A and B are shown apart, each in its own frame.
Chain A
Amino acid sequence: MKVKTFYLFASLMLAGSAFSQGTAQKFDPAQFPGYVMDEVVVPVPSEIFAVLDKLGDPNWKDELRKLSTPDSSDRMELSLVFGTVVAEGFVAVQAQDKQAVEEIGREVINIAQSLGLTKAVRPHAQSILDAVQKDDWKAVRKEFDQTQATVRAEMERMRDNDLAQCVSLGGWLRGTSSATSVVSKAYTNDRAELLNQPMLVDHFAKSVNGMSDSAKNNRLVTAISKGLVTIRKSMDSPDGSFTPEKINTIHTTCEELLTLILQVKKSR
């Protein structure tokens, strides 16, 4: 579940603290005497969807899509699919669609089985199904979050960091695709501002760059790498504002990548 455990005992200068005089003054990255951690926690889709709900009443049922477990045995591709399926679960929770959540719960088990993670995932999947029966949507959302975190932790434990990144990447692409769809359908500046996520795109680009050569040569990872460049360009905004055109570019790019990821089955 932990993103990264840090053991750091290097002695660094402690002068010029951001906590000078016991209270927070101003943070200057150039003068920061401490250690800035590289690891980034990727937000779960519902963290973004919660804002959209506060700004209106999106029709989340419109955003739901039918998923099927791919035939692929490629663990990298399956990891990407796994991320998108869990993100689909968040959309189904927003839509409060019991049947969809149950179907997604079963998909989660299927893919976990293909990834050899059944033991770790089954308790979460069962909890999702139990919570759906009780109409406890908050619990369902929490379980989807825990499922994704458990899978990534298992992959990291098995030293499959590239796969763990693919889970996050797949989830973020699907979450961004549905968020941009909702924003496009009822555009406002406040809603569009949600796409101001350059740090996350930089994080994913860096993750992909740091993958092994065999991972980087995967056709999906190569396509995602290119897509991230397009998305990042659209997020260049001096004042954090996003035009409908930029939103559309981000949406189209995410959709194209998701189509590639979810067509794993057809291409094999």
Chain B
Amino acid sequence: MNKLKLQCAVLCALFFVALTSAYAFVDEAHDYAMEAATPYVEQGYTVREDYWNGEVESGQKLAVRHQLFKGNEYAFWLGTANEDCELELAVFDSKGQPVHMERKTGKFTCSVRVNPPATGTYTVVFSVKSKKERGVTWALAYGYR
């Protein structure tokens, strides 16, 4: 009985450690996204406190629908904590046409800028593809000016 309890405790501890590390990596992905945002902040962009993040299968495509306002300029920053990844990031209008400009990539980041041609709903599509790992972390943040 005691042995069973011990096994359960060890399993619980391992699960907790695994969960904690997953969260840590996801937060690290956000740190990289913020690193990509730094030069934009110097150009007068305000970074939103809210962001999206998570862990997905490598290469899994994700999309976020987002409200943009004509007259503002927007920048989106995608970050990952996984090494040797290929990051993709694009923004489309309601008719499915790409509207993003100035795509920049770094070792752990990808950024695009958008001047929305109209106020309305846009779709941000992105993915993180790893050569080594099955699961990848990601964080997507945005700013405006």
A37 to B51, CA, bound (A): 13
Q: What's the nearest-Cβ distance from chain B to residue A52, in Å? A: 8
A240 to B122, CA, bound (A): 14
Q: Closest B residue to A43 by CB, please name it.
A: B67
Among B23, B50, B145, contact of A1 (Cβ-Cβ < 8 Å): B50
The reply to whether B69 and A51 contact each other, CB–CB distance below 8 Å, is yes
Residues of B within 8 A of A39 (CB): 52, 64
In the complex, which range does the number of interface residues on chain A fall in?
35 or more
Residues of A within 8 A of B46 (CB): 46, 138, 141-142, 145
Q: What's the nearest-Cβ distance from chain B to residue A234, in Å? A: 15
Given contacts A2-B53, A10-B57, A28-B96, contact A44 B119 (CB under 8 A): no
Interface of B is mostly: strand
Count chain B residues whose beta carbon lies closer than 8 angstroms to a beta carbon of A: 46
The answer to whether B11 has its CB under 8 Å from any CB of chain A is: no
A39 to B62, CA, bound (A): 12
The reply to whether A32 and B119 contact each other, CB–CB distance below 8 Å, is no
The reply to whether B90 and A24 contact each other, CB–CB distance below 8 Å, is yes
Q: What's the nearest-Cβ distance from chain A to residue B114, in Å? A: 12
Among A26, A28, A48, A141, contact of B69 (Cβ-Cβ < 8 Å): A48
Q: What's the nearest-Cβ distance from chain A to residue B49, in Å? A: 4
The answer to whether B121 has its CB under 8 Å from any CB of chain A is: yes
Residues of A within 8 A of B56 (CB): 6-9, 35
A145 to B48, CA, bound (A): 7
The reply to whether B69 and A43 contact each other, CB–CB distance below 8 Å, is yes
The reply to whether B61 and A194 contact each other, CB–CB distance below 8 Å, is no
The answer to whether A99 has its CB under 8 Å from any CB of chain B is: no
Q: Mark A24-63, 1 if CB is under 8 A from B, else 0.
A: 1111110011111101111110111011001100000000
Q: Mark B121-145, 1 if CB is under 8 A from A, else 0.
A: 1010101000000010000001011
Q: What's the nearest-Cβ distance from chain B to residue A147, in Å? A: 9
The answer to whether B7 has its CB under 8 Å from any CB of chain A is: no
Residues of A within 8 A of B96 (CB): 26-29
Residues of B within 8 A of A186 (CB): none
The reply to whether B66 and A41 contact each other, CB–CB distance below 8 Å, is yes
A136 to B70, CA, bound (A): 26
Among A6, A50, A142, A196, contact of B52 (Cβ-Cβ < 8 Å): A6
Residues of B within 8 A of A40 (CB): 65-67
Q: Closest A residue to B22 by CB, please name it.
A: A7
Given contacts A27-B123, A29-B123, contact A5 B48 (CB under 8 A): no
The answer to whether A214 has its CB under 8 Å from any CB of chain B is: no
The reply to whether A146 and B49 contact each other, CB–CB distance below 8 Å, is yes
Q: What's the nearest-Cβ distance from chain A to residue B26, in Å? A: 6
The answer to whether A193 has its CB under 8 Å from any CB of chain B is: yes
The answer to whether B98 has its CB under 8 Å from any CB of chain A is: yes
The answer to whether A211 has its CB under 8 Å from any CB of chain B is: no
Residues of B within 8 A of A (CB): 22-23, 26, 30, 46, 48-57, 59-67, 69-72, 88, 90, 92, 96-98, 100, 118-121, 123, 125, 127, 135, 142, 144-145
